[in-house]
């Protein structure tokens, strides 16, 4: 399924890209082919990310992707 179609279905469920972000921002991170594989996992991860620089705005305000690999040791 095309990334545009996946994002439209997710937007219909209330999970849309926030301005000023676009599909291009997602594709620049992972590539079009990765998003068009079966399933919605990467689309949801992409929407749950924040931009990689200040002011660290979320791509979607209703989703949050937490990378558990940042938990490294006791007390993290």
> What is the full DSSP assignment across 9-66?
HHHHTT--PPTT--HHHHHHHH-HHHHTSSSSHHHHHHHT-B-SSTT--BS-TT----
- Give the pTM: 0.84
Rounded Cα gap, residues 36 and 5, in angstroms: 10
Handedness of CA 24, 1, 42, 46 (dihedral sign): positive
Q: For residue range 22-57, what is the model confidence (pLDDT) as tens digits?
A: 999 999 989 999 999 999 999 999 999 999 899 999
């Amino acid at each position: 399924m095309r990334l545009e179609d996946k994002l439209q279905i997710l937007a219909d469920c209330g999970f849309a890209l926030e301005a000023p972000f676009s599909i291009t921002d997602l594709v620049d991170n992972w590539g079009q082919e990765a998003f068009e594989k079966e399933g919605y996992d990467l689309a949801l991860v992409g929407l749950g990310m924040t931009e990689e620089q200040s002011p660290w705005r979320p791509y979607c305000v209703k989703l949050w992707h937490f990378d558990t690999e940042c938990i490294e040791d006791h007390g993290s």
